[in-house]
Amino acid sequence: MLDVTPLTEGWTLRHEGAALSAAVPGCVHTDLLAAGVIADPFLGRNETEVAWVGRRDWTYDVALPATSGHEQTDLVFDGLDTAAQIRLDGQLLGSVRNMHRSYRFDVTGLGGPLSVHFTSAYGAAEAVRDRLGERPSAYPEPFPYLRKMACSFGWDWGPTLVTAGIWRPVRLEHWSTARIARVRPLVTVERGVGRVELAVDVERTRVEAGLTVEARAGGVRACGTIDGTSGTVLLEIPGPELWWPRGYGEQRLYDVELTLSDAHGPLDAWRRRIGFRTLELDRRADAHGSGFTFVVNGVRLFARGVNWIPDDALPSRITPERYRHRLRQAAAAGVDLVRVWGGGIYESEDFYDACDELGLMVWQDFPFACAAYPEEQPLRGEVEAEARENVVRLMPHPSLVLWNGNNENLWGFKDWDWERRLAGDSWGEGYYLGLLPRVVAELDPTRPYAAGSPWSGSWDHHPNDPAHGTHHSWEVWNRTDYADYRLHVPRFVAEFGWQAPPAYATLRRALPGEALAPDSPGMLHHQKADDGNGKLERGLARHFPPPEGDFDRWHYLNQVNQARAVAAGIEHWRAHWPVCAGTVLWQLNDCWPVTSWAAIDGDGRAKPLYHELRRLYADRLLTLQPRTGGLVLAAVNQSAQPWRGTVRLRRMSVEGVTTGETTLDLSAAARAVGELLVPTELRPAGPKEFLVADADGLRALHFPVPDREVPYPSPRFDVTVAPGAVTVTAHTLVRDLLLQADRLDPAAEADTGLVTLLPGERVTIGVRGWETLDERAETAARSALYCVEPTR
C-alpha cells in the first residue's frame, strides 16, 4: 500500500542570513509573529508596520528523510503560496506560481536538504503586469496577475497582508506498481436508484501489471479493471436516502471507498463521503424576466444565503474546529446557502465536509474578483490547471450546488469603463464564457455553472439587470436610503449589505489604549471602505439624530441601522417569492477586526445583525410591507406545512395606548406567501402611532416615519439578574433594546439581539460567560443595555 510521511517538523525559515523556526503548514507572517519579530498586524495600525514582509523573498528549509523501499517516492505539496522554486540537494525540482493548486515531484532515490524559495508575490505579479500590460481593477494592487488569494492585497474590509509560505500540508508518498492519481465521482439519482460512477485515473511504474478497482458504498460492491491508466466502476444503490438542504430534510451521507489492487494485493485507496440528491437551476424566461431558482430533489427553494470570505487574513491559521464553529453559527441563523466569494480561495475539505453535514448549500466562485484578468500565458495555463483540480476535488460534496465564474467582472466590463480602457486587450471573458464552463461540463456535468455574479445570462441584457439572473444591490448602501430596497424585486439578490462597527470588546482588543471615536486613528485604519464613515453617517442621519461626541451611542445606533437595513431588504424580497428566489447577505464573517458589512466580527462575536438573521431567515416570517394602495401583512412560509392561524393587529400610540385593534385569519400555503391588506382604519397616521402584528409567537412592527421624527417616551424598565440570565421588564415602549454582553465581560455572549418591548412586556436574555452575581451585577447589566432614546 501507499505509505505517507508527513513533513511537519524541522522546518527553518530564512531571510537574508537570519533563520528562525517555522511551522508547516503556515506562512511567513505566522512564523514571524511566533518569533516576536513582528507585532500583531491586526492591532492598532501595525498592518502598515509589517508591509515590508510581503515585499521580501523567503526560504523554507528542511532535511528530507531517507526514501523507503518502494519503487517511487513523490514530494507532494497541497498548497504553496505562491511563486516559488523547489530544490532538493541543490537540484531544481520545479517552479510554481499558483496558490490554488497542489504540486507533485518525483524524488525517487533523492535525499538531502529541501528548500522552497518564495519570491515576493509583488515582484512576481508586477513582472507579469509589465509584460502583459496594465488591466483595470477596483484596487491599485497587482492581484490580477498572479493566481493568489486576491484579498491578500487588501480589500474594502480587509488588511493588506501579502502572505508567502507552505500554507497547506506537505508530505512524501511512497508507492510501488501504481497509485490512484484521480477519482472523479459522478453522483446521480435516477428512478429511485442512486448511481455513483467512479472514473479512475492511475499512475504506474510498471505498465504490464494487471490492475483492478473495487468500490463499496451503502452495502453495495462493484469491481472494474484498469485499461492502461484509466477505468470506470459503477455502483447502483436502490432507494437511497436523499441529502437535503437544512430545513428541508436530513443530510444523509454515504461513505464511498475505492481500492486499487494488483495480483499481489491492495496498492492504494480513495475514500470520500457523498450524498444523493437531484439538482437543477431554473433559469427559464417568464413574465417577470428570467429566473434563478435552485431546485433540490424537486423542491423549489428560496435561498437564505450569506457570502463567505476567508475567515482569517492569514488563512493557514483556520482550523477544522474554526470552520465548523463558524458554519454552525451560519446554520443557527437560518442560513441554508453559503457563497464562497471569488476574491478568496477554494476552501479546505473541512469547510465542505461541515457544509455537507449541516445542510448548507455551497455556491463556489472561481477565484476572480473585481478586476480584468489577462488571458495570456502564464496565467491561462494556471487557470485551467487549478480549475480542473478543484472541480474534481470538490465534486464529491453534495452541498456544492453551483460553480460561478467570477465576482463582478462581467458587470465591471460593462459599467466601470473597462471596455474603453482595455482597448481590445483580454480581460477574462474567455475564462468565464469559454474555458471554465467547458471544464465544468467535461468534469462535473451534474452541477450548473453561472458565468458570473451578477450576470443576466447573456449580453442581451445588462449584467446587473435585476429582472434577469443574479443581481448585486449596492446602490442603496453607496448612495441612498435602505428603504429603497423596496423599489425593485430582483430575481436573485447575490450581494447586498450595510456596514456597522464590530463589537465593543473587539474594538477594545484591536485598538488598545485608544480613546475610541468614529474618526480616531485606529478606527479610521480599521475602516477600509471608500468613504465608509461618510456612508455610515449619511445612512444614520436619515433615521436618527447624530449622536455627536457620544461614541457608545454612535456604536449602538450604527449596529441598529445595519440590522434595520438588512431587514428592510430581506423582508421585502422574501415577501415577493417566487419572483425573487434568494438573498445572499454580504457578508457572514470578517477576516480581522474591522468596521464592515459582516454579521459576525473578526473576533467571532455576533453583531445584532446576526441575531436579526435568525428572525429574517426563519421558516416563517411575519412582515408589514408598504405597497401601492396600502399596507400589506405578508406571511412568508418556507416550511413544508400550511400556515393557518389568527393575526392580531394593533394600532398603538408611542405612549403605549391601543387606539385600534382587530383579528384576522392568516393563511399561507406550504413554501408560499400569504398576504392580508391592513384595514385602512388601523394604518398608523403620523409620527405618534405605529402598528403591531402578532401571530404564532411572531411579531411585525411598522412605524410610518423615521425614528428621528418619532416622539419616543423616555424608556423606563426594570432589570433583574439571575445565573445566566438578564430579565428586562418594560414600563414604556422600549425600542430595539440590546444587551451588549461583551461590555460585561469580553468572554460573555447574549443569546438575544435587538428586541422591542411594549409597556408591561418582558424579555429574558440568556448570557454565557458572565459569572458575576454580586450586588453590582444589576448595575453592570443596566449599563450594558442600550435602546432607542427620545430625540434631544
Take residue 483 and report the three cell numbers written for it.
Answer: 428603504
Portion of the chain with pLDDT greater than 90, in percent: 96
Residues in the chain: 792
Which cell numbers hold the place of 35?
518569533
- Beta pairing partners, 6: 171
The CA-atom distances, in angstroms, between 492 and each of 206, 270, 293, 583 are 53, 38, 8, 6
Confidence of residue 209 (pLDDT cuts 50, 70, 90): confident
Query: In which residue are the cell numbers 462535473 written?
Result: 444
CB of 337 closer than 8 Å to CB of 582: yes
Residue 417 has pLDDT above 90, yes or no: yes
Q: Are 609 and 686 in contact (CB under 8 A)?
A: no
Work out the average pLDDT over 107-122: 96
Residues 612 and 566 sit within 8 Å (Cβ to Cβ): yes
Rounded Cα gap, residues 689 and 692, in angstroms:
10
- Angstrom distance (rounded) from CA 311 to CA 589: 7
Whether the bond into 772 is cis, omega within 30 of 0: no
Residue found by looking up cell 461540463 in the block = 441
Q: ∠ CA 545-547-550 to the nearest 5 degrees?
A: 170
Q: Is the pLDDT of residue 63 over 90?
A: yes
C-alpha cell belonging to residue 672: 408560499
CB atoms within 10 A of CB 665: 10
Tell me which CATH homologous superfamily contains domain 3-173: Galactose-binding domain-like (2.60.120.260)
Give the span between the Cα atoms of 483 and 652, in whole angstroms. Answer: 22
Q: Does the active-site annotation cover 386?
A: no
Please check whether the two domains, 3-173 and 177-274, share a CATH topology.
no
User: Do the bridges between strand 112-118 and strand 698-702 make them parallel or antiparallel, or are there none, so unpaired?
Assistant: unpaired
Q: What is the pLDDT of residues 66-83, one digit of tens each?
A: 777 899 999 999 999 999
Report the greatest alpha carbon distance in the chain. Answer: 90
Q: What is the mean pLDDT of residues 440-456?
A: 98
Pairwise CA distance, residues 596 & 586, whole Å: 9
Confidence of residue 792 (pLDDT cuts 50, 70, 90): low
CATH number at 284-618: 3.20.20.80
Over 80: is that where the pLDDT of 775 sits? no
Domain positions in the chain are 3-173, 177-274, 284-618, 621-709, 717-786
Assign residue 249 a region (left: φ > 0; alpha: ψ between -120 and 50; beta: otherwise).
left
Cα–Cα dist 102/382, whole Å: 11
Region label for 63, one of left (φ > 0), alpha (ψ between -120 and 50) or beta (otherwise): beta
Distance of alpha carbon 78 from alpha carbon 84, whole angstroms: 14
Q: Which of 347, 357, 375, 408 is catalytic?
A: 408
- In tens, the pLDDT along 379-406 reads 999 999 999 999 999 999 999 999 999 9
Integer Cα distance of 48 and 464 in angstroms: 36
Residue that has been written with the C-alpha cell 430581506 in this structure? 570
pTM for the whole thing? 0.97
Contact 502, 601 (CB under 8 A): yes
**Nearest of 197, 196, 257, 201 to residue 226 by alpha carbon:** 201
Cell of 194: 442512486
How far, in whole angstroms, is CA 185 from its chain's centroid?
26
The CATH code that applies to domain 621-709 is 2.60.40.10
CATH number listed for the domain at residues 177-274: 2.60.40.10
User: Residue 616: pLDDT above 70?
Assistant: yes
Quick one: cell of 13? 525559515
Residue 773 has pLDDT above 80, yes or no: no
